[in-house]
Structures are given as C-alpha cells and as structure tokens.
C-alpha cells in the first residue's frame, strides 16, 4: 500500500524516477519565410505583372516537453512545439487582350515541431550549463487561405470573387526533417523545479512552402529560437 502511495505522489508531482515533464515557451529569432517581390510593370511594357509577399507569422512557440535523465550528465529530451504561420500574397497582371486581374490571399497554417535531442549537462550546484543536439520533424496542418479575386476588362466591366480553401498554392510538402543544436542553462529554482533558458538552432533539410518562378517565396531553412523551459 505504501509503495502505491509513493508512486502516486511521484506521478502527481510530475517526477517518476529519472523522468521529468514540463513545458516550453519561446520566441522565434528568425523569420519563418524568405521572399522577394517580382515587379514587371515598366511604363512602356504591354504586359504588367506584380507578385508580392509579406509575412504575418505570430512571434511565439509553445508546447510540452519530456526528458529522461541518464548517467554522466546525459539526458534524452522530446518536445512538441506549436507555432502559427501566417502570410499574405498579392498578384496583379495586366495584358492588352484580357484587361487586368488581381488576387489577394491571406494564408494561415498550424505547424508542429517535434525535436528529439540528446542533452549533456555540466552540474555546477544549482546552475548547470548544457548543450544538446539531435533531429527534428515538423508537420504543417489546418491550412486555410482566404482570397479575393478581382478582374476588370477594357469595357469597364468588373468581376469579383471571394472565397476560402483548405490549401495553399505555396505548400509543397507538409512534412520536413532537420538537424538541431542548442545550448543554455539549467537553473534549479527550488527542489524538483528547473528553469531552462536556451538558444536553439534548426537546419531544415527541405522546404514546406515554395513559390516559383525562382525563389519568390520559400521556407527559411535556418531557424533560430529562444526557448524558456520549466520542468519538474
């Protein structure tokens, strides 16, 4: 009976032997996307086209974390970090035969990032510097694009269509993998409670988002994030 009571007490406190659980919140230090404008609207050009992008990504990330402590200052850590991606696009084209057309699109998507890390910590009383590294997997889901499509011919007739689709023309791959490296400080505030500020870098191997021609709009493959973790 007393063994069951001890086990339940450890489970309630979030500590079962070498297992720790907690949460992380953070701020991206890099932009989620890389983009440039295409403007082919010279005054004498018969055909005019413009393609612009702007990033509206929310500057936060958060999610649960779980760690398994190993001998010699080592640990294995698994995180599930959520962030919200948002961007706008504007496309305009004018031709001598069909008049002009413009499309404005606002796109949002949920992204989950799943790093699996090997961490090494150097214990110095209550403050312990650490480094970590490993692999990460991400998943883009719940994509939603709101668009306004307007056109005008040379007779002055105007057409407009508003709508929403559960997709994005720029989304080329909802899954990606990458390499992760980071470092920070593990500060033991009180018994069994640890604060862990960290700078983390992820190099993604492939893009989730891409828009041709050329690199007009792409996922930023180099991601840097400041994270603050609390674990029990």
Contact 93, 66 (CB under 8 A): no
The whole-model pTM stands at 0.85
Per-residue pLDDT of the chain (232 residues; tens, 9 = 90+): 433 443 344 444 444 458 999 999 999 999 999 998 888 786 666 788 899 999 987 889 999 999 999 999 899 999 999 999 999 999 999 888 778 889 999 999 999 999 999 999 987 777 899 999 999 999 999 999 999 999 887 666 678 899 999 999 999 999 999 999 999 999 987 777 899 999 999 999 999 999 987 779 999 999 999 999 999 8
Nearest to 114 by CA among 175, 158, 43, 54: 175
- Going by C-beta distance under 8 Å and a sequence separation of 6 or more, which residues neighbour residue 59? 27, 28
Element (H, E) at 2: helix 2-12
Token reading at 136: 């990460």
Choosing among 3.30.465.10, 3.40.47.10, 2.40.160.20, 3.90.79.10, the CATH entry for 18-231 is 2.40.160.20
CA dist 94 to 24, 50, 91, 99, 148, Å? 49, 9, 11, 6, 17
Domain map of the chain by residue range? 18-231
């Amino acid at each position: 009976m007393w063994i069951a009571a001890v086990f339940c007490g450890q489970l309630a406190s979030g500590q079962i032997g070498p297992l720790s659980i907690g949460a992380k919140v953070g701020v991206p230090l890099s932009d989620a996307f890389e983009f440039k404008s295409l403007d082919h609207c010279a005054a004498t050009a018969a055909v005019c086209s413009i393609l612009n992008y702007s990033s509206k990504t929310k500057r936060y990330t958060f999610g649960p974390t779980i760690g398994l402590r190993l001998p010699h200052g080592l640990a294995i850590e698994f995180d599930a970090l959520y962030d919200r991606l948002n961007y706008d696009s504007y496309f305009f084209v004018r031709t001598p035969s069909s008049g002009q057309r413009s499309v404005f699109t606002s796109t949002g998507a949920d992204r989950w990032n799943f790093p699996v890390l090997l961490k090494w910590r150097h214990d110095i009383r209550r403050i312990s510097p650490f480094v970590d590294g490993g692999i990460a997997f991400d998943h883009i889901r719940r994509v939603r694009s709101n668009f306004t499509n307007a056109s005008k011919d040379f007779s002055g007739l105007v057409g407009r269509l508003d709508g929403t689709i559960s997709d994005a023309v720029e989304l080329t791959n909802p899954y990606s993998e990458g390499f992760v490296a980071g470092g920070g400080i593990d500060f033991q505030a009180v018994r069994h409670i640890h604060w862990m500020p960290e700078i983390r870098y992820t190099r993604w191997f492939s893009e989730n988002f891409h828009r041709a021609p050329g690199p007009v709009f792409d996922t930023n493959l180099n991601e840097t994030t400041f994270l603050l973790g609390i674990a029990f």
